Structure 1
């Protein structure tokens, strides 16, 4: 006896064999069909078949297209009836679209049940139909096709059983019997319809439509079959012995066997069977050309239209998503386009030079002289190499987004392409240069810098690349003409066979151009020279600061920074120089349409003076520009800004502030605002407090990134004071922004005998005063090393900085400063240093530290090492203490 386990194993093996056979059978049938077709038409030349197709009357081809249109229009009725059958309201337009796309694609791709069903599910699910409803539509359309086929095929096979060719494969069952069986299937279907019965197939219940819809199914599918079969008939040559009914019978047999084979679209199988059955009436070529046309008109053309319709539909459905993708792509390209074009233009220049060094084909030159005069050919050889050198130089300007480089590059590319055609009809090189011209032409917006080409700097890598190209150009020319004996007469020889002379003249022209460019660059004055600001520039900077909503620009009044203005005189950068490092302090001050240009100007100016550009304590505002410059960004902390509209002493969250205010005022101290006009009269007392504060800290003044005690500096601002009847114990100068947007403080000092929490009291009272005056926010300055990531894959700098922030109390109370500012519930925003990559970073950081600390010795002063443990008692010693 066979055990249950053995039976299961045998059943599994049987299923595997059936599945394998299901995969292999279509392949075998398709291979046999191709082999048979090849055997029948191997003696025919392909061009003979093509010429045969052109002999078909145009009117017959037009009729075939018209019948195809009617056939697919009829097919849309399948889905329309199915929608009515499931009682789901849907416009015919949507139904027709889903029907045409799914049918046209599945007819060509094959596996109709799989492809047509998946496409219908994709399209109908977007219109609110569920899986069950879509499956009912698919079953309905399949039934509609087979009902019509069974009806028409049954009538033809029963009442018109034509005699097939002797070469056609024999059908084991008489066609009359096949026809009767097909008509019986139709009868059973209508029996179920009239009796309103349903039947099950593999556990799925199929709902048979009512008689009215069933008759419509029969009519539509019958018309569809007659239309598609008629297309083949009208494409065939006329033959009195062959009627439309003959062709319809042959078409039915070929189509049913093609469907059973599951080969996509019955490709090969349908053609092979039609070839055998039509052979008694026509020659092979007369059968092949109509079948090829039928395959193209009825399958391929609708497939293309269906595919395009599907793509358009998917695009419309994802219009918003694709727009976002397009916007992101364009944004990314805008960052990379200048660099890409710079590289391509550089390669184009190298190509022009190398082609000028290589000998041309004398045959091309000889033919060219019939069209182009010899002097013009010689001039084109010379200027072709000069255009190559210009492209090498302009590539640097394109990399830096200079608008002049963009305009000149277009002109040089165009002229270079013309010279490539004139010198030896090098259409390959000309095509590359013209193509580059047309791609560069619409990219004007990416080259926005209004800078002089003479003032641009060339990096060492750029100069090395240009040198290598020029050396290769000279070597290539010398190698190519090594058999030509040099003589002075070579310089003045002109002609088709004097290409060595042309190379020598081109070499001289290229190097003369480089010499002129170098001399002009050295002699051209640099309009952005470094100098301390004069009275006029200081007044202009004051005007810009007074119009700026942010307060950081007030550091200009320290007088230790250089200023760089934009061309519109609406914004400026303040910067310092330490060693070879050029350091800007903060973001651009003011508002200008030339912010990008101003940053680039600073970068170019530093390069012109052989320096390293860096941007210290900048926000996220201009990060893309810093990246364009090739810089990297390091996060150095976060700036805290308090919303004064929400600041109050009421509530449990502010109880600590209320205690501070009561405690200080209880001891007889109060808060006072002094106008800047009254500040000079207080200077002796303020200096006394500052000197005592510095002595207590055992250090010296920091500079550049924060203010320092200077009478001229302090006289520019009002002061916030904490005092009693006899003396001032604390002060801070007040920075205010335009439109009452922001208020902040810079220099803060207190006397050794000031009461506890004096500075916290000053901050609280100043914020309340700012709120009363209508200011929107109060800047508490930066908390160094705050907000750095500690995750596993965070940058090394973040991990080290975070470790110092958490455990670096010995050097500086970073965490205490952050905690103090956090008490005011501020909004934190990141601050960065933008600096060169690689080994230069260490030198830049050292120079910035020296600039802030007043020299290299200041980096290691006691002030920088002293702990800020008193932060809870006296608030931060400097509100904007720096990282270095």
Structure 2
């Protein structure tokens, strides 16, 4: 029976991700189309005039009311933390809550985004996952309770206004408002004086008691009224409703934006307000909405960026500077994310600025060549910032250098094309923040190596949809003609905007094509002969023959400062893969595990340890890695190995059969190997042709004369010719012997390999070795219980149904006849979605031809 669960699950996940990208794009496009329908051919002129009508007092009041709203949002975290019993520094609470709400409301999915911020901000303060979940729940409930009550009041008192945007008549909406209020009162009565406890994923969460619920509701009402007031003060005096009535309309628009899944409800929020305020001029509503987004969304983001650039937070030197130190410790983990979002915003602003027409006063004094060139350069700079912003979130040093250069240089084209001064100032602020946080961007790697997340693709698509709409909205009075592309004139704003959009589209196409054609990350430079020679003393003290893999010369080497140990590793895909446990004394090996983790972090790769044992499992767990069983290694004890006795009858018969077939055994020393290479090459080529296989790498050696000449080689000869061979690995300190490359002629006598191993066991015992490694049997020894972990079930399924592709059970049976002791081998890698990616990278790396 064929199992289709995994492929269908993967397909379903891919469909969900694509839908999560396309659905917000479709909603935004529909909302923007609805917005455009509310304006005539001169809609942009009406919006611009409404901008000019704003007074300084209106703008200042909108900023103050918005910041006061954020101050109330911080209170929800304080209430949630109060139940945990853990004392958290007020600076940590304030900064964490501020960042959680600033990023959550800007990026979207506030509970998830804000929850991630709180997880990192409060985890180091001693809170566990359940306590942090309680804070997230309290913040979410704070909005729900307040919106619940305010919406119920608004629908009960003024249902006609909401009926303009909702597909229900006034009577039904009024009844719905009453039901909402009754439901809230019932909920307050049900929670009682002690609250209610429930479980989510094994973690207990607490619904607040009646007193806390009422307090949170009151705080939420104040916060929502302040947020609505920040918008209301931007409306003209002719607005038909007062602030109490507007709060309900504001909530309907906010809820519409939340349901749309578009970040910050972009477009949907504005369209809803146009429907809810039909008496207000559309230009005034849209201008108020744009200013509100700047004061309520962009300004907090810039404040967070300024915090990142503040030098006092970067140097908490005084012991008394508790607030400074707590603030910096809270802020520092989020610097790359904050700055990445700020860079993305500046990039979007540059593209938008390239779409808007320059003022007639500027055009009278501008130089046409400079104007045209700066227009294209500014838009190109904007799209580059959009593309590299995710690299900043991943601490890419290349992205940082490019972002600093663009943010410093972008004010010049903005000035030359008569753009917005505020965008130039924002770019300089972001440049200062980038420079101040330069130590946070240390990861190497090419920008084309950065994997794009689905949310980032969605956000990029949202910007492009909005810019295309803005182009046609601003120049709706211009009739499109092919000649527009080639019109170069000071007054030709529309042609310039078209050409700028073409530059943006071409840049995206070139970047996407580069991603498609770009091969996977190149390998790390392998260790040279001098480095391998320096490892000789370390190999002499090795207790595991797996250490000899370093001599394949297809892996890089990470050494400790004293030169007492090393990790052999290679890069493939998004993983830095170490082959086995570090080699060296236990203390050195543990330190090397952390050093390897730091190296993976520097390179922006996931750390993966392939085929590790049980010696350092605790250190791998301390790194945050998970362990999954790959199989078991067969270890044959040699002290009592003999061919005598009933239990060894099969081995004795195989050995005697080989003798009767004329097989002989000998071990050629390493200095004899170069002369044997031609004969060994014939055996190896015939073996590869018979198996229809190719040389592998990383976890085993290949037929390389230089590599083979480093080891003694076991030979099986018949009638004076070599019919089988195997190079020998030796771990002197562990008294362990093993083989790596095993090849035989297709016409070799039956049982040749059995004869080879039996002779090797006898020879190794005579040399004083105590154990012989037969290597790992993949996917063997896994738990088969129905309640076993997911990996064990999937791997067991692969082992059962993949037998015709790879002899899993046959390989274990072959090794079992030598009565070995089995010891487990694991893969240590990050969990979740990183685990299958790590397995795939390791598998591909092994299947590559060595040195590719």
The TM-score normalised by the length of structure 2 is: 0.42
The TM-score normalised by the length of structure 1 is: 0.41
Q: Based on CA coordinates, which of the two structures has the bigger radius of gyration?
A: 1
Task: Say which structure, 1 or 2, has more relative contact order (CA 8 Å, 6+ apart).
Answer: 2
